[in-house]
């Protein structure tokens, strides 16, 4: 079984730590893992050409081509984003826009999906992001298996909090059991 985690954070910090911690737990269970840090990828904006509707392929040649393959090969997909103005980051939104290919082809249908968010805005903002991720998962035919959110401001706040680290491990256990 293969797990992919997509990190929509523009910095190294809480979200990267959370996703990597989840993947470490997956590897302990014998699962293969992939980690994609969107900030290190070249991903163009969707241009709305709808070529993917007729061909099942995106005509934009960038790092999304590699990510498309990784998503198709995965059994469990995890999206993680910090909360920016009650939503996901711009790079995560751009990535999601480029998933129109899978809305059209339904190649991800039936794969398991989990979502993670972290921010300083509190539970109302977290619920907006989790609900957005749930909406995207429904549109792509993914099967939601869990979500996790944390309130944190400093870039290493989650990593330095043993209670939050324990929550990550418990979440991973529930997702991978």
Which tens digits make up the pLDDT trace of 39-92? 999 999 999 999 999 999 999 999 999 999 999 999 999 999 999 988 999 999
pLDDT digits (tens, 9 = 90+) for 144-167: 999 999 988 888 889 999 999 999
pLDDT, tens digit (0-9, with 9 covering 90-100), for 86-128: 899 999 999 999 999 999 899 999 999 999 999 876 678 888 9
Domains parsed from the chain with CATH numbers: 2-41+49-176 (3.40.50.360)
Q: What is the pTM of this model?
A: 0.95
Distance CA 80, CA 82 (A): 7
């Amino acid at each position: 079984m293969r797990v992919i985690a997509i990190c929509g954070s523009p910095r190294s910090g809480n979200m990267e730590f959370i996703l990597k911690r989840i993947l470490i737990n997956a590897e302990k269970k014998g699962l293969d893992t992939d980690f994609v840090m969107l900030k290190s990828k070249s991903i163009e904006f969707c241009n709305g050409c709808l070529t993917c509707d007729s061909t099942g392929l995106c005509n934009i040649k960038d790092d999304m081509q590699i990510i498309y393959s990784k998503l198709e090969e995965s059994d469990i997909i995890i999206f993680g984003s910090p909360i920016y103005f009650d939503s996901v980051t711009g790079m995560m939104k751009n990535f999601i826009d480029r998933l129109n290919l899978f809305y059209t082809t339904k190649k991800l249908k039936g794969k398991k999906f989990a979502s993670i968010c972290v921010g300083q805005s509190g539970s109302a903002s977290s619920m907006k992001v989790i609900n957005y991720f749930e909406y995207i998962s429904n549109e792509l035919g993914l099967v939601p298996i869990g979500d996790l959110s944390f309130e944190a401001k400093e870039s290493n706040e989650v990593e330095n909090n043993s209670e939050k680290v324990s929550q990550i491990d418990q979440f991973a256990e529930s997702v991978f059991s």
